């Protein structure tokens, strides 16, 4: 078996330790900084590398870390798994995504346990499951954004074979799988990459310290390392798409950016395999060039999360006005209308939260709606609250139904956060399992200090290191058996079925979306083709002028509602939503 490692930091030697025996590696004559050797090995054999007689460290390209990030790597035979199901050819247009955290989706917190529940999501109408990060991190429980081995699967989740079983099961149900990957930083604990080479640079500084080296000396190999890991998920595990965490935090000044390289490589792999691979960015830039095709001068990612829509919707539903919600709270219905039609609320406008102008406009005539994801809740927007409280903690079932209608019938690709479909009451809190006591205490103090500055009593803020914080965040599926959860689940299923069967709801034409609203009475109605969707966020019934011919048909409604009268006026009960079709 060929063992190789990029270790330009090595002065004299690199040693492979395989099953307790040392094997010196040779310098690669054609690749600067690479060391190689051929040694007999098989699936499961443990190994690591020592640089200049230093400690034995795991392979930077470890495919499996059975004992965690500080233990030895294990050889993985990628050809050993016998795939049963072909990948479904699913496009983003028409997709319904479902964000899922493996560690709290089930009490067991494993990929195999999650796979047993995939039939429920397929029955709901979900087309793609978006898994939060799976890369190894110290400890058992965590969000996954502190991963330190970008090629491996967290062992407590089941390791690489379990991920293949999960993807295979999903594909057998006709469901795609999206994986959240992190390229902008690695975790503070268990990160051994600096011992091998210049994976990080002090040229740039980030909230996590030194930046991942995408543009300084040695960055060619670092870019190839992260690009290779991304392609491995798509190729070896048959993942259908990747969600790229916080691409705005990638410090990259090169003319050809890492994201453009990644986009081109993923498109080429899709062509080779005849599959529908895609990249979804999380970006705070408000820049449509992120998803503009490379041929038109853009970065070429295929879609991006739209937090502006979330912020407008959240503010309209809850009235919250602190932090970044302040910009949206001045006129929440107007903000919601703008994000439904123009995507970004900040499209060159002044942001009081940032103290400057922000964003640029989306070309609605040339940009398809499925370049953007719309959602009412995500792991970020729930878990980064002090108590990890969901919308269900502050919004009535009727308002949750309105949120579902806006997300699932709106122009963007809809995404749900696990449990949202039944209005789950379980919180989703920030939890960690750091094995370094000093780091654990620093995170605990930092979390409490952060929210104390916003008026919270420190004792109210859950301890991230307490196992109970993770356990509180596990979904309680027994809720689905009783109202209002049972009714909300049926409402989500009904709306998703409409999206699947009515072409107007997957029409990519952003310019064709027409919106009217009343800020004071808190109602909004938008039109897509022959369909109208009306929501009344106020407590009192609303009289909404549709200007129609009175022959509209009610396709779905949260509360009983009569079709519009001959005068074209629709009367919508308080905190309710209606979907109508032209007669």
Active site amino acids: 245, 282
Q: How far is CA 121 from CA 114, 125, 263, 342, 404, in A?
A: 11, 6, 29, 31, 16
Buried-state track 144-179, b at ≥16 Cβ within 10 A, e below 16: bbbbbbbbbbbbbbbbbebbbbbbbbbbbbebbbbb
Which residue, 530, 580, 541, 525, is CA-closest to 557?
A: 580
Classify 235 as helix, strand or coil.
Answer: helix
The one-character DSSP state at 459 is G
Q: Which long-range contacts (CB under 8 A, 24 or more apart) does 539-545 make?
A: 539/574, 539/575, 540/574, 541/571, 541/572, 541/573, 541/574, 542/518, 542/571, 542/572, 542/574, 543/569, 543/570, 543/571, 544/569, 544/570, 544/571, 544/572, 545/516, 545/569, 545/570
- Radius of gyration of the chain from Cα atoms? 25
| Count helices and strands in the chain by DSSP H and E runs | 14, 27
Taking residue 246's Cβ as centre, other Cβ atoms within 10 Å add up to: 18
Q: How far is CA 58 from CA 17, 48, 63, 66, in A?
A: 10, 5, 10, 11
Structure tokens at 447: 């979390």
């Amino acid at each position: 078996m060929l063992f190789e490692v990029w270790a330009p930091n090595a002065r004299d030697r690199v040693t492979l330790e395989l099953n307790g025996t040392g094997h010196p590696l040779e310098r690669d004559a054609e690749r600067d900084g690479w060391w190689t050797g051929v040694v007999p090995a098989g699936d499961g054999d443990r190994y690591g590398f020592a640089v200049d007689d230093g400690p034995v460290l795991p392979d930077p390209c470890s495919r499996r870390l059975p004992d965690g990030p500080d233990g030895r790597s294990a050889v993985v035979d990628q050809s050993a798994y016998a795939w049963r199901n072909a990948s479904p050819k699913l496009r983003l247009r028409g997709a319904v995504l479902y964000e899922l955290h493996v560690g709290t989706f089930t009490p067991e917190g494993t990929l195999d346990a999650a796979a047993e529940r995939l039939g429920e999501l397929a029955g709901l109408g979900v087309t793609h499951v978006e898994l939060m990060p799976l890369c190894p991190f110290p400890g058992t429980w965590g969000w996954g954004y502190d991963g330190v081995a970008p090629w491996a699967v967290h062992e407590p989740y089941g390791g690489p074979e379990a991920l293949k079983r999960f993807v295979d099961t999903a594909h057998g149900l006709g469901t795609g799988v999206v994986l959240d990957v992190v390229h902008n930083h690695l975790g503070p604990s268990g990160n051994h990459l600096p011992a091998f080479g210049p994976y990080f640079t002090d040229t740039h500084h980030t909230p996590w310290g030194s930046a991942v080296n995408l543009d300084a000396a040695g960055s060619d190999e670092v870019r190839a390392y992260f690009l290779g890991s991304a392609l491995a998920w798509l190729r070896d595990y048959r993942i259908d798409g990747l969600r790229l965490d916080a691409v705005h935090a990638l410090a990259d000044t090169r003319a050809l950016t890492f994201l453009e390289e990644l986009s081109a490589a993923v498109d080429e792999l899709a062509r080779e395999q005849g599959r529908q691979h895609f990249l979804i960015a999380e970006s705070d830039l408000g820049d449509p060039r992120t998803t503009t095709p490379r041929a038109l001068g853009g970065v070429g990612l295929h879609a991006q999360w739209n937090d502006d829509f979330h912020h407008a919707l959240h503010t309209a539903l809850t009235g919250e006005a602190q932090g970044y919600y302040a910009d949206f709270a001045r006129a929440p219905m107007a903000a919601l209308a703008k994000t439904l039609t123009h995507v970004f609320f900040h499209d060159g406008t002044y942001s009081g939260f940032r103290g400057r102008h922000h964003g640029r406009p989306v070309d609605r005539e040339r940009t398809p709606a499925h370049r953007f994801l719309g959602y009412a809740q995500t792991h970020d927007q729930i878990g980064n609250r002090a108590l990890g409280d969901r919308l269900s903690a502050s919004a009535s079932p009727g308002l949750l139904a309105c949120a579902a209608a806006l997300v699932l019938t709106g122009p963007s690709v809809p995404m749900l956060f696990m449990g949202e479909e039944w209005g789950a009451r379980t919180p989703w809190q920030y939890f960690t399992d750091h094995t370094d006591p000093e780091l654990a205490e620093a995170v605990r103090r930092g979390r409490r200090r952060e929210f104390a500055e916003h008026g919270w009593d420190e004792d109210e803020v859950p301890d991230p290191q307490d196992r109970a914080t993770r356990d509180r965040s596990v979904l309680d599926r027994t809720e689905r058996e009783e109202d209002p959860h049972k009714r909300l689940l049926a409402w989500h299923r009904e709306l998703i079925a409409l999206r699947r069967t009515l072409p107007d709801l997957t029409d990519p034409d952003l310019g064709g979306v027409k919106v009217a609203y009343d800020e004071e009475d808190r109602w909004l109605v938008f039109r897509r083709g022959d369909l109208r969707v009306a929501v009344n966020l106020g407590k009192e019934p609303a009289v909404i002028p549709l200007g129609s011919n009175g022959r509209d048909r009610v396709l779905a409604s949260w509360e009983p509602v009569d079709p519009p009268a001959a005068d074209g006026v629709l009367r919508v009960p308080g905190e309710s939503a209606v979907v109508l079709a032209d007669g």
